[in-house]
Amino acid sequence: MNRPTGRRLLVSLAAGAGVLAGTFLVAGFTPRWVVLALARTAFFLAPDAFVTFGIQRLGDLARPLLVVGTALASLLLFGGLALAATLVAGALGRERAEVVFAVGVVETLAAFALTVAPVPALVGGAVGAAVVGLGGPGSGGDVDVARRDLLRSVATAAAAVGLAGALGARRAMGSGTDGADGRTISEVEDPLVRELLSTAAERSLPLDGVDPLVSERFYEVDVNSADPDVDPESWTLSVGGELGESREYDLADLRNRPARHRFVSLRCVGDSLNGSKLDTALWTGVPVMDLLEELGVSDEEPCCVYVRADDDYYQEFPLDALESAFLAYGTNGRPLPTGHGFPVRLLVPGHWGEINLKWITDIELGREERTGYWEKRGWHGTGPVNTVAKLHGVDVDGGTVTVGGHAHAGTRGISAVEVSTDGGDTWTEAVLSDPLPAAVAADAEPSDPSVGDGEAADAWRMWRHEYEASEPHEVIARATDGDGDLQEREESEAFPSGASGWVSRRVSP
Ligand SMILES: Nc1nc2c(c(=O)[nH]1)N[C@H]1C(S)=C(S)[C@@H](COP(=O)(O)O)O[C@H]1N2
Ligand SMILES: [Mo]
């Protein structure tokens, strides 16, 4: 490769970087950024086995790897387009200004085709064209680039990337989407929410390094690399569908209905046996059945619910699951964080996380079974959760060992957690936290005696066990659900129906 061609290539790559930076400046880390738009397309087109492998083997790394991989692919794509445009326009003997214009048009069109977002596409195209312009493309088939021009061009692209990076870092710091906003309970405005959160804090068992009954950091699982940014003003939910009447609700419609506060745990079917994709929050919202009853869709005997969300995620599940389902617009006394479905998500107590749709837009009833997003990829996660006792806390203080964690069995509830330190020959019952309180109407008085009463229909409990030991040993934990059924002993991986087995850990006093 001779020198001028090498320089031309570099200018084109710099233009590609300029497009990535320019679109990012406007779109930020959203699906309107070309890289994430490409990632989304790739993910939806990828073979199912590949996606399942990614989730299974790469776990939390899958998402960053996908983003980095797609960023490189986008760089090559937009760099290649810049090169093609300059070569073609140059071969046609166009003037320098026309060559630059051609690059701008090609980059803008390509960015628009990926994102369907005109403003980021235009800005991306403009930055790409500017980089090429400074790189001084020749005309009339002359594709030489002077060294000084090359430096200017690369410096412009680097500046655009730097600016985009700085802006991205600021935005990332400004918007915590993980639900951990660092507030203390006393800073929560609503007195009833404050009362419920205090009750949860009081009932939490003290365990080093283990979340209390309301998670401090709520896990996130998404099929896309960036969360959709839904405009709460124009958001609507369509309910009904194929059977009978349909109706659209906006956020104000939901907020004007009688609301409830409710503790609900969520667990991902992809959570490993002793993994951390199990969390609990206090959610605020309205029962789905209230909306369906108003529509009167029950006489045609629908079997199935089809739900869809703003990020193109979709699921199907049996109608019974909807009985106690809930449309939540609040969590722990504030609006839902973006990462957990702002403005509204579905909660289906007792069922694996995957049918708890975030950014929900459609609830439709029908008479045929369909295949949901994860079922299409081989998972069986539309049913009730498995029973599990997690063992996350192990504290050794001299000869005193304290073990504990959370136990969850969905709507079946937990009736006991037992611990064995002799390989399963003998079992001792652990201390269980008091259950989290049942759902309450959001207009109840905090002092009302019913507040804090009852038992949440789907929330984990905490367990704790303290004992003396002098030798290294294995400690095993197992739960019994509210129906009296013992946690499944046979070990299985999360794929396809959720992990099973009893958690054990080595302890060295
Ligand atoms: N719209 C949408 N909803 C979704 C998902 C998604 O990718 N998109 N992921 C699902 C999965 S697999 C799980 S486990 C839960 C996780 O909810 P969380 O991220 O709030 O913890 O959301 C579910 N709802
Ligand atoms: Mo999940």
CA distance 104 to 47: 34
Task: Place 180 in a pLDDT band, splitting at 50, 70 and 90.
Answer: very low
Res 172: pLDDT? 47
Compute the distance from residue 456 Cα to the ligand 1 centre, in Å.
21
Res 186: pLDDT? 82
Q: Whose CA is nearest to atom 18 of ligand 1?
A: 220
Task: Kindly report which listed range (39-48, 81-90, 156-165) carries the lowest average pLDDT score.
Answer: 39-48
Write out the CATH class of domain 185-199+212-377.
Answer: alpha beta
Task: State yes or no: pLDDT of 3 exceeds 50.
Answer: yes
Res 52: pLDDT? 67
Ligand 1 is surrounded, with C-beta below 6 A, by 218-223, 266, 268, 309, 311, 313, 340, 353-354, 356-359
Res 175: pLDDT? 35
CATH topology of domain 388-507: Immunoglobulin-like (2.60.40)
Cβ neighbours of residue 393 closer than 8 Å, sequence gap 6 or more: 207, 208, 209, 210, 402, 403, 404, 405, 464
pLDDT in tens, 345-390: 999 999 999 999 999 999 999 889 999 999 988 889 999 999 999 9
Q: Of 268, 360, 375, 497, which is best to mutate to test ligand 1, by the most ligand atoms within 8 angstroms of its C-beta? A: 268
Res 409: pLDDT? 98
- Least distant ligand from the CA of 372: 1
For residue 95, how many other CB atoms are within 10 A of its CB? 11
Q: Whose CA is nearest to atom 6 of ligand 1?
A: 222
Q: Whose CA is nearest to atom 24 of ligand 1?
A: 357
Q: CB burial class (10 A; 0-12, 13-18, 19+) of residue 293?
A: exposed
Res 89: pLDDT? 86
Res 294: pLDDT? 84
Residue 337 C-beta-side C-alpha neighbours within 13 Å:
16
pLDDT in tens, 81-92: 999 998 898 888
**Coil, helix or strand at residue 252:** helix
Residue-range domain boundaries for the chain: 3-174, 185-199+212-377, 388-507
Q: Whose CA is nearest to atom 10 of ligand 1?
A: 354
Res 299: pLDDT? 56
Res 44: pLDDT? 73
Compute the distance from residue 69 Cα to the ligand 2 centre, in Å.
23
Mean pLDDT of the chain: 89
Mean pLDDT of the region 453-463: 95
- Quote the pTM value: 0.77
- Least distant ligand from the CA of 219: 1
How big is the chain by its Cα radius of gyration, in Å? 27
Res 139: pLDDT? 40
Q: CB burial class (10 A; 0-12, 13-18, 19+) of residue 290?
A: exposed
Ranges assigned E (strand) in 251-294: 260-267, 278-287
Compute the distance from residue 393 Cα to the ligand 1 centre, in Å.
26
Mean pLDDT of the region 28-57: 77
Q: Which residue has the higher pLDDT, 93 or 324?
A: 324
Res 59: pLDDT? 61
Distances (CA, A) of 454 to 191, 263, 435, 451: 19, 12, 8, 9
Mean pLDDT of the region 133-139: 64
Angle between helices 34-45 and 62-91 (to 10 degrees): 110
Res 57: pLDDT? 63
Distances (CA, A) of 391 to 15, 276, 376, 386: 52, 10, 32, 16
Q: Whose CA is nearest to atom 11 of ligand 1?
A: 354
Which atom of ligand 1 lies closest to the CA of 279?
A: 21
Task: Place 298 in a pLDDT band, splitting at 50, 70 and 90.
Answer: low
pLDDT in tens, 190-233: 999 999 999 999 999 999 999 999 999 899 998 887 889 899 99
Task: Place 179 in a pLDDT band, splitting at 50, 70 and 90.
Answer: very low
Task: State yes or no: pLDDT of 136 exceeds 70.
Answer: no
Q: Which two tokens stand for residue 307?
A: 């739900």
Q: Which residue has the higher pLDDT, 302 or 404?
A: 404
Res 344: pLDDT? 98
Compute the distance from residue 268 Cα to the ligand 2 centre, in Å.
4
pLDDT in tens, 97-124: 888 999 999 999 999 999 888 889 999 9
Task: Place 1 in a pLDDT band, splitting at 50, 70 and 90.
Answer: very low
Res 78: pLDDT? 96
Task: State yes or no: pLDDT of 236 exceeds 90.
Answer: yes
Mean pLDDT of the region 328-332: 96
What percent of the chain has a predicted confidence (pLDDT) above 90?
65
Task: State yes or no: pLDDT of 393 exceeds 50.
Answer: yes
Cβ neighbours of residue 154 closer than 8 Å, sequence gap 6 or more: 10, 11, 14
pLDDT in tens, 248-296: 999 999 999 999 999 999 999 999 999 999 999 999 999 999 998 888 7
Angle at 390 between CA 386 and CA 395, to 5 degrees: 170
Task: State yes or no: pLDDT of 125 exceeds 50.
Answer: yes
* Per-residue 3-state assignment (H helix, E strand, C coil) for 51-92: HHHHHHHHHHHHHHHHHHHHHHHHHHHHHHHHHHHHHHHHHC
Which atom of ligand 1 lies closest to the CA of 360?
A: 1
Res 149: pLDDT? 80
Compute the distance from residue 88 Cα to the ligand 1 centre, in Å.
46
Strand-pair partners of 473: 507
Task: State yes or no: pLDDT of 338 exceeds 70.
Answer: yes
Q: Whose CA is nearest to atom 7 of ligand 1?
A: 222
Which atom of ligand 1 lies closest to the CA of 267?
A: 14
Q: Whose CA is nearest to atom 16 of ligand 1?
A: 221
pLDDT in tens, 406-452: 999 999 999 999 999 999 999 999 999 999 999 999 999 999 988 98
